[in-house]
Amino acid sequence: MNPNYPRDCWYVAATSDEVGSGLLGRKLLDRPVVLYRLASGEAVALEDRCAHRAYPLSRGRLEGGLLVCGYHGLRYDTAGACVGVPSQPNVPYGVCVRAYPVREEPPFVWVWLGQPGRSSLHSPPKLPWLSGEGWSSSGEMACLAANYMLVHEHYLDLTHIPEVHPEETPPGLKEMPALDHVSVSETSVTYTRTLPPAELADWEAEATGLPRDREYKRRHHGTFISPAILAEGWQIDGGDGQPYEQARIHAVTPESPARTHLFSWFAHNFALDRVLVGQRLHAVMAKVMREDVAVLEAIEATAGYEGSAAGIHLTADAGVLQVRRIVARMLATETGRTSAEAGRAPRSAPARKTAQSG
């Protein structure tokens, strides 16, 4: 299928920890990218392909702030300009690899792979749960064999929880209620749902330390912030006036039409002094993520995104349908088309044309 991801968007390229003194090669939105860090601490992203024979620059080395190709030794500066060729005295004029705008807000390094000038009109979203005071967070990454919209649509419709994650589902909660409110803006979709009172699942009891002999109200909310980020919040009403809040941040970065880098980060705002709580929550979320990945890869293998998106819609899909409209509009604006088709699954322009005439 043709790529169905907007390019004019800040995507997470890597975690801050991943970008160190070495070279990290990663395919992002179909482009080979090499990431590294200068002595000043600044992160750099260049096209991971030497201008000479297309050898991946990530297989080379860093030498005094210059990136040296591991094949014939061409040297590149941080702007991607070739500044030296060992086998000849002169530097070929105007030879360069693409340099991509980078912003870092730990724990993430963000990259802009769209029209370079437009990067200044956008900012990576603020994720205070991952950096702000009062929260403790950790995360897991995966590169899964599924289209990025399958990932978004999976987390936009959590009525899958009792089936896919039965052990983590609060006991007695037979089904996950559909959303009770969906709120839409030009670029975002926010949704909320209220769960009927239920007892604590094992992991909830261990993490919160709340007594198990009672039922608790829970609320779930989430925001599709951009094609790169879906943020979710879970609140358990402990009955003591203090909501026990957890946030799950999914950074979703397409690698190619059928592969996606997923950075799922998990934060909580209680028991911050108890390290074991953080470890327990991390283990639960890592397990949940593995189960999610297995589901998504099975859908991709069976039908791909277009096949999945052509399926029937349920009440629970209210958020999904709004997000599809937003992404379809973004794609239409980028490709220079005049209007998006409302409510259709996002596809690139040529694919949509085929579908229309078919």
**How far is it, in rounded angstroms, from Cα 96 to Cα 112?**
18
Q: Counting contacts by CB under 8 A, is residue 192 touching other proteins?
A: yes
Residue 350 CB, nearest approach to other proteins (Å):
15
Q: Among the candidate windows 17-25, 55-63, 65-73, 187-195, which touches other proteins by CB under 8 A? A: 187-195
Residue 235 CB, nearest approach to other proteins (Å):
4
CB of 183 or CB of 279, closer to other proteins: 183
Q: Crossing angle, helix 275-302 and helix 148-156, to 10 degrees? A: 120
**How far is it, in rounded angstroms, from Cα 127 to Cα 139?**
14
CB of 8 or CB of 199, closer to other proteins: 8
- Among 180, 290, 307, 350, interactor with other proteins by CB under 8 A: 180
CB of 118 or CB of 160, closer to other proteins: 118
**How far is it, in rounded angstroms, from Cα 170 to Cα 162?**
9
- Among 15, 78, 194, 256, interactor with other proteins by CB under 8 A: 194
CA 261 to chain centre: 7
CB of 36 or CB of 135, closer to other proteins: 135
Q: Distances from the Cα of 290 to the Cαs of 141, 164, 227, 264, in angstroms? A: 10, 11, 22, 11
Q: Counting contacts by CB under 8 A, is residue 136 touching other proteins?
A: no
Question: Binding to other proteins (CB under 8 A): which residues in 264-303?
Answer: 269
- Among 20, 79, 92, 115, interactor with other proteins by CB under 8 A: 115
**How far is it, in rounded angstroms, from Cα 178 to Cα 180?**
6
Q: Among the candidate windows 55-63, 81-89, 151-159, 222-230, which touches other proteins by CB under 8 A? A: 222-230
User: Taking the chain, what is the end-to-end CA distance rounded to the nearest angstrom?
Assistant: 16
**How far is it, in rounded angstroms, from Cα 15 to Cα 105?**
9
Q: Residue-wise over 342-356: b if at least 16 C-beta within 10 A, else e?
A: eeebbbbeebbeeee
Q: Counting contacts by CB under 8 A, is residue 175 touching other proteins?
A: no
Residue window 232-261: x/- pattern of binding to other proteins, with contact defined by CB under 8 A: -x-x-x---x-x-x----------------
Q: Which residues contact 86 (CB under 8 A, 6 or more apart)?
A: 72, 73, 74
Residues that bind other proteins (CB under 8 A): 115, 117-123, 125-126, 128-129, 132, 134-135, 177-188, 190, 192, 194, 217, 219, 221-223, 225-226, 231, 233, 235, 237, 241, 243, 245, 269, 312-313, 315, 318, 322, 329, 332-339, 341-344
